[in-house]
Chain A
Amino acid sequence: MRGSVLGRVHRTDLALSLAILALVGAGFYLCTTFEEVSPLFADTIPPDFFPRLMLSVIGVLAVLLPFEHAVRSRRGDSGLDEDRRDTVRPIAYVTFAAALVLVAAAEWLGTYLTLVAICFALPLLWGERRWKPLAAFALGFPTAVMILFTQAFQIYFQPGVFGLNLN
Chain B
Amino acid sequence: MEPILEGLGLAFSLYNMALVMAGVLIGVLFGALPGLSSPLAIALLLPFTIMLEPVSAICMMAALYCAGTFGGSITAILINAPGAPPAVATAFDGYPMARRGEAGRALGIAAVSSVTGGLLSLVVFIVATPLLAKVAVSFRPPEYFALTVFALSMLASISGRSSLRNLIAGAVGVLISTIGTHLGTGIERFTFGFHELTEGVEFVPVLIGLFAVSEMLVQSQTGDMALERIKSVVVKLPSREDIRRVAGTVLRSSGIGTFIGILPAEGSTVAAIMGYNEAKRWSPRKHEFGTGVPEGIAGPEAANNAATGGAMVPTLALGIPGSGTTALILAALIAHGFRPGPYLIQNTPEFVYAIFGAMAVGNVAFLVIGLVGAKVFARITLIPRTFLWPMVFGFSVIGAYSLSGSFFDVWVMLIAGAVGFLMRRHGFGAAPLVMGLILGRMLEETLSQSMIMYDNDWLRLLESPIVCGFFALAVLGLAWPAIAARMAARRSRGDE
Contact = CB atoms under 8 A, between A and B. Distances in A.
Q: Do A and B bind each other?
A: yes
B167 interface: yes
Nearest to A44: B184
Interface stretch (B334-342, B372-380, B418-426): B418-426
B398 A84 contact: no
Contact of A41 (B175, B184, B389): B184
Interface magnitude class on chain B: 35 or more
Interface in A1-55: 12-13, 16, 20, 27, 30-31, 34-35, 37-38, 41, 43-48, 50-51, 54-55
Contact of B387 (A30, A38, A123): A123
B451 interface: yes
Interface in B140-165: 161-162, 164-165
B178 A54 contact: yes
Interface magnitude class on chain A: 35 or more
A48 B489 CA distance: 43
Contacts of B427: 80, 83-84
A58 interface: yes
Contact of A80 (B162, B182, B213, B407): B162
A51 B213 CA distance: 27
B25 to A, nearest CB: 15
Interface in B388-447: 389-391, 393-395, 397-398, 401-402, 405, 407, 410-411, 414, 417-418, 421, 424-427, 444, 447
B410 A61 contact: no
Interface string B165-192: 1011001101100100010110111100
A35 to B, nearest CB: 5
A6 B72 CA distance: 44
B101 interface: no
Q: Which of B394, B395, B397 has the most CB of A within 10 A?
A: B394
Contact of B168 (A20, A50, A96): A20
B459 interface: no
B386 A44 contact: no
Contact residues of B: prevailing secondary structure: helix
Given A38-B185, A115-B397, A122-B389, A45 B448 contact: yes
A27 B162 contact: no
Nearest to A81: B427
B385 interface: yes
B405 A103 contact: no
A111 B386 contact: no
Given A61-B164, A84-B425, A155-B402, A100 B414 contact: yes
Interface string A69-81: 0001001000110
Given A118-B393, A122-B389, A88 B452 contact: no
B385 A126 contact: yes
B185 A41 contact: yes
Nearest to A30: B190
B226 interface: no
B391 A141 contact: yes
Interface string B45-65: 000100100000000000000
Interface of B: 48, 51, 161-162, 164-165, 167-168, 171-172, 174-175, 178, 182, 184-185, 187-190, 213, 216-218, 220-221, 384-387, 389-391, 393-395, 397-398, 401-402, 405, 407, 410-411, 414, 417-418, 421, 424-427, 444, 447-448, 451-452, 456, 485, 489
| Across the A-B interface, the 8 shortest Cβ-Cβ residue pairs | A47-B182, A122-B390, A128-B386, A44-B184, A54-B175, A123-B386, A95-B220, A89-B221
30 contacts: A13-B426, A20-B168, A34-B188, A44-B184, A44-B452, A45-B184, A47-B182, A47-B184, A47-B187, A51-B175, A51-B189, A54-B174, A61-B164, A83-B425, A88-B425, A92-B220, A96-B414, A96-B417, A99-B393, A103-B414, A118-B393, A123-B390, A126-B385, A128-B387, A137-B390, A141-B394, A145-B394, A145-B395, A149-B48, A153-B48
Given A95-B220, A106-B410, 20 more contacts: A13-B426, A44-B185, A44-B448, A47-B185, A47-B189, A61-B167, A68-B162, A68-B165, A96-B217, A115-B397, A122-B389, A126-B385, A126-B386, A127-B386, A137-B387, A137-B390, A141-B394, A149-B48, A155-B398, A157-B401
Interface of A: 12-13, 16, 20, 27, 30-31, 34-35, 37-38, 41, 43-48, 50-51, 54-55, 57-58, 61-62, 64-65, 68, 72, 75, 79-80, 82-84, 88-89, 91-92, 95-96, 99-100, 103, 106-107, 111, 114-115, 118-119, 122-123, 126-128, 133, 137, 141-142, 145, 149, 153-157
